[in-house]
């Protein structure tokens, strides 16, 4: 592990890791402690008061970050006929049907998100064993199986992100780049928190959101006062 520089040690020594920070203050601290040359992501982790073993308490969904994610993603659309032109004009990186199925079957997957029209699902089902483990299987609940491919592509390009809790009941997501303005990161942070807050399953009793932490890709994590995130 690379040793911390004296300057970085001094800065980190002034950080109280036991404190629940105001969101804006925490974002500023993370931005002031950038020590790498690439654009780090602001990551959020929300510990939920759910039982992950109960399917009716698990959450997953999609949301649009108001200020975008800063991440460039490659989008493939599986469709045919007039929808092909629609997807291309909307900015899809790859558009196809049977030819795209063949590429995926051969192991050539050069995209980060797959969107499909409903009529393509029987074909996609044949390659589900390839797409599923990679998290690329289109899902109508996530907006990736739709007739409106243009809107789906534009939403994904503009900063739409997917989320779901892990086996420990924690939701992780990247909500922007640290080179964003502080107010833009704060707006994304509040929007993501609200999206999770609204997704509380009816079967969950008591406190739903237990802890909120934000961190930079290569940095440290800071606990956030969740009350300050409510609009």
- Judged against a pLDDT cut of 50, whether residue 135 lies above it is answered with yes
pLDDT digits (tens, 9 = 90+) for 43-66: 999 999 999 999 999 998 889 999
Q: Which one of 158, 185, 214 terminates a domain?
A: 158
User: Is residue 152 packed enough to be buried (19+ CB in 10 Å), middle (13-18) or exposed (0-12)?
Assistant: buried
What residues make up the domain containing 127? 75-158
Q: Which one of 128, 158, 188 terminates a domain?
A: 158
Are both 51 and 79 inside the same structural domain? no
Q: Decide: helix, strand or coil at residue 121.
A: helix
For residue 130, what is the domain's CATH number? Answer: 3.40.50.790
**pTM, two decimal places:** 0.78
- Judged against a pLDDT cut of 90, whether residue 116 lies above it is answered with yes
Q: Considering all CA atoms of the chain, what is the largest pairwise distance in Å, rounded to the nearest integer?
A: 62
Mean pLDDT score, 125-151: 92
pLDDT digits (tens, 9 = 90+) for 85-99: 999 999 999 999 999
Q: Which one of 158, 184, 206 terminates a domain?
A: 158
User: Cα 189 from chain centroid?
Assistant: 12
- Judged against a pLDDT cut of 80, whether residue 11 lies above it is answered with no
| Nearest by Cα to 175 from 42, 46, 4, 21 | 42
Lowest mean pLDDT of 2-11, 125-134, 175-184, 185-194, name the range: 2-11
Q: Please check whether residue 196 lies inside any domain of the structure.
A: yes
Beta bridge partners of 172: 45
| pLDDT for res 32 | 87
Q: In sequence order, what are the residues at sequence separation of 6 or more whose Cβ sits closer than 8 angstroms to the Cβ of residue 80?
A: 97, 117, 119, 120
Are both 108 and 219 inside the same structural domain? no
Confidence of residue 39 (pLDDT cuts 50, 70, 90): confident
- Other residues' Cβ atoms within 10 Å of the Cβ of residue 219: 21
pLDDT over 90, % of the chain: 73
Q: Please check whether residue 9 lies inside any domain of the structure.
A: no
Instruction: Judge whether 52 and 169 are in contact, CB under 8 Å.
Output: yes
Q: Please check whether residue 97 lies inside any domain of the structure.
A: yes
Are both 99 and 169 inside the same structural domain? no
Beta bridge partners of 63: 161
Instruction: Give the Cα separation of 90 and 131 in Å (integer).
Output: 23
Number of domains making up the chain = 2
For residue 63, what is the domain's CATH number? Answer: 3.30.190.20
């Amino acid at each position: 592990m690379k040793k911390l520089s004296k300057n970085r040690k001094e800065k980190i020594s002034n950080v109280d890791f036991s404190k629940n920070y105001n969101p804006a203050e925490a974002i500023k601290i993370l931005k002031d402690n950038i020590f790498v040359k690439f654009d780090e992501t602001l990551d959020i982790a929300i510990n939920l008061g759910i039982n992950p073993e109960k399917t009716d308490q698990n959450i997953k969904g999609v949301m649009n970050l108001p200020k975008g994610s800063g991440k460039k993603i490659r989008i493939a659309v599986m469709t045919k006929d007039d929808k092909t032109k629609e997807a291309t004009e909307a900015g899809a990186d790859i558009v196809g049907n049977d030819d795209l199925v063949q590429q995926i079957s051969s192991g050539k997957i050069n995209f980060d998100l797959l969107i499909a029209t409903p009529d393509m699902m029987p074909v996609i089902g044949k390659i589900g064993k390839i797409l599923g483990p990679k998290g690329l299987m289109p899902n109508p609940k996530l907006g990736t199986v739709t007739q409106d491919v243009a809107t789906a592509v534009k939403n994904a390009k503009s900063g739409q992100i997917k989320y779901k809790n892990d086996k420990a009941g924690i939701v992780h997501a990247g909500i922007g780049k640290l080179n964003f303005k502080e107010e833009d990161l704060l707006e994304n942070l509040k929007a993501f928190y609200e999206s999770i807050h609204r997704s509380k399953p009816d079967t969950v009793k008591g406190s739903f959101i237990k802890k909120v932490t934000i961190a930079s890709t290569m940095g440290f994590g800071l606990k956030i006062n969740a009350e300050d995130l409510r609009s």
